[in-house]
Amino acid sequence: MTGMTAMSMGAAVACGGAAAWLLLQRDSAVRRARLLFAGGGTVGADPSGWRTRAGALRRVRARWRTEWWAPAAGVLIAVLGASVLPVVLGAAGVPLLRKARLAGRERRDRERRADEVIALCSALAGEVRAGRQPGEALLRGARDCGGLAEAQATVLAAARFGGDVPEALATAARQPGAEGLRGLAACWRVAVDQGAGLAAGLDRLAAALRAERDQRSDLSAQLAGARATAVMLAGLPALGLLIGTALGADPLHVLLHTPACLGCLAVGGILEGLGLWWVSRIVRGAEAVA
């Protein structure tokens, strides 16, 4: 009965999390559809209070960071296994998950900046071909494509008031993902100092940056299989515990209350951590080489 009770509690928690996720996704899809068919207008009143409840869940999800699921899972396993060890392990996983979350956000910001640089180069080339001066073209291009979000003040002030635009672009290029601004600064310097065609250079620069972005995307797609395999293998021990619980073997009690199994748990955790670290090291090495 203890095994069936633990299995039931685990299934209830999983179903609750899945229901909350589906609730948020459904509300988001319904809202996009209403805005689309309303022509971008204001969505009408919600008599059932669906959006209110979904908005509250979305705010909870925004405040409840990914890393805090580790101690929550630790508390749940501690209750099911009658041991304090999962709570300690869950608390120890908080900084690791926070580091992974921040690394993912940094990667997304880097990709966003790279896309903004490409859009800026294309927009600037179009403005120059339209007959505008480079400074005015940079102002209009940055405004239209939304690029240079972090360094917009410095670069646009240099363009508006006759400052050193290449130097401002080179400074902005120090941000991760904005390295393409160095090429824009070089094109600007050559065009202004030597009278070369700025639009042609910007077109070649945008094409090169797009090719580099596509190469990174292809590499990420190829490495996604390795990441998925590593995550699946890391989750197999949890699957084994669930199967043992379903069979009535009470593996949590055996794992957390016998010295031999505690030693196996420590060795297995170390080996699994080393495996995940090694896979991530291989992936980072392949991305760095590319």
pLDDT tens digit sequence for 78-107? 888 888 888 888 888 888 888 888 888 898
pLDDT higher than 70, residue 116: yes
How many residues belong to the chain?
A: 290
Report the distance separating Cα 111 and Cα 216, nearest Å: 10
Q: How far is CA 121 from the centre of its chain?
A: 25
Could you read off the pLDDT of 207-251 as tens digits, one per residue? 999 998 898 888 888 888 888 888 888 888 888 888 988 888 888
Report the distance separating Cα 195 and Cα 188, nearest Å: 10
**Residue 40: left if φ>0, alpha if ψ -120 to 50, beta else—which one?**
left
Residue appearing with tokens 């902005």? 172
For residue 24, name the pLDDT band (cuts at 50, 70, 90): very low
100: tokens are: 């992974």
Residue 141 DSSP class: H
Smallest CA-to-CA distance from 86 within 108, 66, 71, 97 is with: 71
Could you read off the pLDDT of 137-172 as tens digits, one per residue? 887 777 766 655 555 667 777 777 777 888 888 888
198: tokens are: 């700025």
For residue 117, the tally of other CB atoms under 10 A from its CB is: 29
What is the overall mean pLDDT for the chain?
Answer: 76
Report the distance separating Cα 48 and Cα 81, nearest Å: 41
Instruction: Return the ∠ at Cα 192 (arms to 187 and 196), rounded to 5°.
Output: 65
pLDDT higher than 50, residue 134: yes
